[in-house]
Structure 1
Amino acid sequence: MEKSTKVGPSPISLLDLPESTLDFILKCLSPIDLCSMSKVCVFLKGKCESDEFWENHIKEKWGRVVGDAVYKEWKWHIAIAKDGVLLKNQHTDQTGSMGSFSGVWPNLCLASYLEDFKVLNGKKSNNFMMSLYFSLQTGSFWFPAQVYKDLVIYNALVSYHSQSNTFQARYMKNEDLL
């Protein structure tokens, strides 16, 4: 009996694909699939955690609400985390659960806050858009926004509620205005 010496084509690896093809495939993945793919190897971890893919998911899901102001607020939280300032202490110094207010009425400024500070610990703070995505998705990041209700514009802190796929708002109380 003779053994077949015929050799078939060698299998192609995902990493053998041209970079543009690989990027196209990764752009089609859901956030959960991106996280799973990032566990395959170091190269894919770097690709899957890049801001480009996560920014697409943020814009696709919350593009009408999340804009430059939210990115600026998030950048501020990242900078504080990298400077080593304990965000937890900042949070407990705030009054109530509304975040912080500064300034004098009528120029009162409402600042954002982050409920789950673990998202900024370690390596996740290096992945700007990925950490923002998960903080928004879990509803732990509250950011200032103007909310229209009953034909009136209110300044509020807003966060995403994933179970209802809506945003929640916390309005400034009248006694905080004085």
Structure 2
Amino acid sequence: MIEGMSVLDLPNLALECILERLEPSGLCKMACVCTYLRDMCLSDHLWESHMKRRWGRVIGHAAYKEWQLHISTKKESNYFLAGDKGRGLFMGYLSKLWPVMLIYNDGHDDSKKMKISSQPSIDSVVSCYRALETGKFWFPAQVFNRENGHVGFMLSCYDADLSYDSHTDTFQARYPPHGRRAAAIETGVSWDRIRGPPVDTSPNDLHISDCLNDLRPRDHIEIQWRRNKQFPYGWWYGVVGHLEACDGNNIYCHCHESDTVVLEFNQYTPGSRWRHTMINRRYHREEGNEADGFYGGIKKLYHKDEISVATILAC
């Protein structure tokens, strides 16, 4: 850079290209320089990419709706100026951004001169990012549950509210009450066990299946399941199997023409009563009993990333 030249002397396009390559901590450092850089570094379009890369896989539509409800009850001054002792270097920089004081203003356009800065809007992207990183925002998501029990491996996914713990890079999961059991909290939940809810259906409601006519052997599916009528639904991973009368030969297979659909849950050991079930393609709603549980709505897995997560956990 030319001697005596400041980063503020760069054209806006060049400056934006530099800022787009900075990590969150770098953006926060730059935002401490002056008001002009603060406004650029905290702009939504820069933080949207960081939000997507960091949180995109675990934050879904339900979480964004919850965030809007969350911020509507917060006062900006109390929320953003609250201390985050022990939250790490990044949070330390972020907590110092408001207000930003004059440190350099000579020789630049009036538009780039410094003044005391106001804090960013609570509904900005950086505000949401900060709330997630500090664990202040409990967001709805789903947690994969893999237990090695007497019936074998159980692969399922349950709704929970989650809060991030930056010290351990894991989450706390707060599960809703199940039957007469009080709400439970699980700690140490790793990133690979979390996903955003793939459908908007509440865990207490039956998901309306829109894929029943398309189901064929070897298709990957998830189905709602609950232990009894007082429990919320979880999601079980499974595959569509062949009817008993079919030899599995794809050329002569007519299973997709039958009203009966075989669902296989191969994470359970052979002989387990949860190893497979059958549903009626035309009339399926909720089926089951108090002994085996109740099977609800079905969604077909079309995307490779959905299938790969489930199959890896089931191995």
- Asked if 1:142 is matched to 2:146, the reply is no
1:27 aligned residue: 20
Cα deviation for residue 156 of structure 1 reads: 0.5
CA distance in 1, matches of 2:53, 2:159: 25
**How far does the alpha carbon of each residue in 1:105-127 deviate from its partner, in whole angstroms, 9 at most, with x for none?**
xxxxxxxxxxxx62388834446
**Amino acid across the alignment from 2:143:** V
CA distance in 1, matches of 2:55, 2:168: 14
- Asked if 1:131 is matched to 2:127, the reply is yes
Percent of aligned positions that are identical = 45
**How far does the alpha carbon of each residue in 1:75-112 deviate from its partner, in whole angstroms, 9 at most, with x for none?**
22223336x9xxxxxxxxxxxxxxxxxxxxxxxxxxxx
- TM-score by length of structure 1 reads 0.64
**Amino acid across the alignment from 2:165:** H
**Structure with the greater alpha carbon radius of gyration:** 2
Cα deviation for residue 19 of structure 1 reads: 1.6
Superposition CA RMSD, Å: 2.7
- More moved, 9-18 vs 140-149: 9-18
Gaps of 5+ in 2: 83-117, 147-154, 183-229, 232-315
2:156 aligned residue: 152
- TM-score by length of structure 2 reads 0.39
CA distance in 2, matches of 1:36, 1:125: 19
Gaps of 5+ in 1: 1-8, 85-116
Preserved contact between residue 158 and residue 169 of structure 1 (Cα < 8 Å): yes
- Asked if 1:18 is matched to 2:11, the reply is yes
Preserved contact between residue 60 and residue 141 of structure 2 (Cα < 8 Å): no
CA distance in 1, matches of 2:38, 2:56: 25
1:119 aligned residue: 80
1:28-67 equivalences in 2 (<5 Å): 28-67=21-60
CA distance in 2, matches of 1:42, 1:63: 29
What SS does the corresponding residue of 1:155 show, helix, strand or coil?
strand
Cα deviation for residue 50 of structure 1 reads: 0.9
Preserved contact between residue 51 and residue 128 of structure 1 (Cα < 8 Å): yes
Preserved contact between residue 59 and residue 141 of structure 2 (Cα < 8 Å): no
1:169 aligned residue: 173
CA distance in 2, matches of 1:22, 1:33: 14
1:114 aligned residue: none
Cα deviation for residue 152 of structure 1 reads: 2.2
Preserved contact between residue 119 and residue 135 of structure 1 (Cα < 8 Å): no
Cα deviation for residue 171 of structure 1 reads: 0.9
Which has a greater percent of strand? 2
What SS does the corresponding residue of 2:15 show, helix, strand or coil?
helix
Cα deviation for residue 158 of structure 1 reads: 1.1
Check 1:66–1:128 CA distance in 2 against 1; reply closer, same or farther (3 A cut).
Answer: same
Q: How many residues align?
A: 137
